[in-house]
Amino acid sequence: MHDEERVNLQGLSALAILDKETWALSKIFKNADYRIWAKQMISPENVFTTEFHIRVAREAINKNKKVVQWFRYINEYRSRWGDQAFADYQIYQTLKTTKASETKLALLFQSLDDIDDVKNLAAIMKNYQYQKWKEGADMIANKIWASTKKDPELLFKLFGLHKAGDQIDEKKRVIQWFRYATYYRAENGINNLPDEQIYTILKKSEASEAKLAALFQSLKDIDDVKTLATTMQRYQFKRWIDQDSIPESIRNAAQNILFRNQVSLGTDNAQTYKIAKEYAMFAFGPGAVLR
C-alpha cells in the first residue's frame, strides 16, 4: 500500500479499511449481481442468509465485510422497489438474527459511517436503534449507550429535557438520563462527566435552582440514582454557598429550621423543608438541625 493511501486510511474504522482493500477489486461484478438480484426481487433477508451467510456472525458482526456488501444490496433493492419493500425494522430484525448484542450493532453502524456509499443507510439504522432505545429505554440501553460513549448532552436533548423548564422534576425521562449518567461515569470515569458538566447540562433545561433542588431531592428516593442525586444535591448546595444564591423559599425554610430548631408537623414532610434541612446540615453541620 502506498504512503498516500495509508494517510487516507487514518481515522477510518477497521471495517472501512477492510472494505476499502477488497471492494475495488470486486465492485463491477458485485454491483452487477446486486442489480440482477434486485430485479428478481430476491429479498435482502434471503441474501443475508444464503448468499452472505451473515447469520453466523454473532459478536463479530462489526468486523464482517459481508455486512457492508449486504448494506449495498439493500440500497440497490430499496432504490428499485422503495424503502418500504425492505423497511428499517426489517433490516434491524434481520441483523438481530445473528444474536449480536445491541452494543455490537451500535458499533457496526458507527463503523459503516466511514464508508461513503452506505453511510446514509447506516445513519438511518443508527437513528432507528436510538429511537428503539428511546421508546423502551431501560438499564440495558443505558449500558449500551455508555459503552459507545454516546454524548450525555445529546441524549439529554434526544429525551426532550432541554425544553423541560420548571417541569424538569416531573419528567420520567430525567430518571432515565440520570441512570445513563451513572453508567457513563462508571464506564468512562467521573472525569469524563464531572459534577460541573452534569449541572451545566441540567441548567440547559432552563429550570430554576429551586426546581433542580426539588429534582435532586426526588431522585434520592430512587435506589439506582440515589448516589448521583445526592452528589448533585451537595454540588448545588456548595454553589449556593459560594455564590450566595440560595433560592428564597429554601433560605426561609432553612432559617426557620435553624433559628426555631424545629419544623411544624404540617410541613416536616414538605419537599422544600426536606431540601432546607439537608442544606442546613450541609452548611452548618448535623448538630445545627434537630432531627
Q: What is the pLDDT of residue 266?
A: 43
Tens digit of each residue's pLDDT, the chain (291 residues): 433 333 344 456 777 777 776 665 567 678 888 999 999 999 999 999 998 888 777 778 878 888 999 999 999 999 999 998 899 989 999 999 998 888 889 989 988 988 888 999 999 999 888 877 765 555 656 666 666 677 899 889 888 899 898 888 878 789 889 988 998 999 889 999 999 999 999 999 999 999 999 999 999 988 889 999 999 999 999 999 999 888 888 888 888 777 765 544 344 446 788 898 899 889 888 766 654
pTM for this entry: 0.51
The residues spanned by each domain of the chain are 3-135, 152-288
Distance of CA 178 to the CA centre of its chain: 11
Confidence (pLDDT) at 208 = 92
- Angstrom distance (rounded) from CA 210 to CA 68: 51
> Locate cell 479499511: which residue?
17
Are 254 and 280 within 8 A, CB to CB? yes
C-alpha 266/C-alpha 213 separation (Å) is: 21
From first CA to last CA, the distance across the chain in angstroms is: 74
C-alpha cell at 144: 449500551
Contact criterion met (CB below 8 Å) for 279 and 239: no
pLDDT at 5: 37
pLDDT at 81: 92
Whole-angstrom distance, CA of residue 167 vs CA of residue 152: 20
Contact 71, 108 (CB under 8 A): no
Sequence-distant (6+) residues with CB within 8 A of 150 are none
Tell me the CB-side half-sphere exposure of residue 198, using CA atoms within 13 A.
26
Residue 264 and residue 271: Cα distance in Å, rounded?
Answer: 13
Interatomic CA distance for residues 90 and 51, integer angstroms: 18
- Per-residue model confidence (pLDDT) at position 25: 57
Residue position matching grid coordinates 434520592: 220
pLDDT at 8: 43
Bin 82: left if φ > 0, else alpha if -120 < ψ < 50, else beta. left
Helix axes 102-112, 119-135, angle to 10 degrees: 150
Identity of residue 98: T
